[in-house]
Amino acid sequence: MWTLYGSRGSGSAAVEMALQRCGVPWREVRASTWEPDSAQDELRRANPLGQIPTLVLDDGSVLTESAAILIHLGLTQPQAGLLPAEAAPRAQAMRALVFIAANCYAAIGVIDYPERWLDGGGAPAQERLRAGARRRLHEYWTTFADQFGGLLQPDRPGAAEMLAAVVSRWSGARAHLAAERPVVHEALAAVERHPDLAPVFERHWPRGPAAAGG
């Protein structure tokens, strides 16, 4: 039995989709730093940073970082179709996953927790940092759309589509894409509507597909 540490509305949604596609036995443990009543201590024993998603495999080994988890699942569970079978498109899908993790996720961390990056300055400085990080995040999504938008396959979503659809829900990214890259915005909305994935999105975001203003 594999164990996924995560929470509603978080990046663990992408790993949940992938695990369902893989068909392996797994259980979910609700844990996050922002939920005091969740299994925070258990999570930190597996991942000292307390980050989600964290996946513990059936042999007790621990996987962290969304992109690493999804790449591992894609490589070890090829029947799930999380990564393309051919080498060249598989390399681009892995590049897209790491792009989201290294750039978009990193900017969101600053937006959500500006105090971690400032020594003093108070609320005004934190808000300036948050605003700058949000602008940078939107630039990253423009670049993602230009670099990877043509590779997205909403009718056959794999790991890259899953992670992009989840992470773009945060910090106004969908609104930015709707205005600047509407084709990619629609592709991500179509990923959410896919019959295999829609139930997971509905559990994590019960109000339905992300609005352009979300």
pLDDT in tens, 199-208: 999 999 997 6
pLDDT for the residue numbered 210: 73
For 64, phi then psi, to 5°, come to -125, 175
For 87-204, CATH number out of 2.40.50, 1.10.600, 2.40.10, 1.20.1050 equals 1.20.1050
pLDDT for the residue numbered 211: 53
- Using CA atoms, how far apart are residues 88 and 85, in angstroms rounded to an integer? 9
Enumerate the CATH 1.20.1050 domain ranges in the chain, comma separated: 87-204
| pTM confidence score | 0.95
Is pLDDT at 209 greater than 80 in this prediction?
no
Region class of 166: left (phi > 0), else alpha (psi between -120 and 50), else beta:
alpha
pLDDT for the residue numbered 84: 97
Is pLDDT at 72 greater than 80 in this prediction?
yes
Q: What is the mean pLDDT of residues 49-76?
A: 97
- Using CA atoms, how far apart are residues 116 and 49, in angstroms rounded to an integer? 13
pLDDT in tens, 123-142: 999 999 999 999 999 999 99
Structural tokens at position 77:
């569970």
Fold of 2-80: Glutaredoxin (3.40.30)
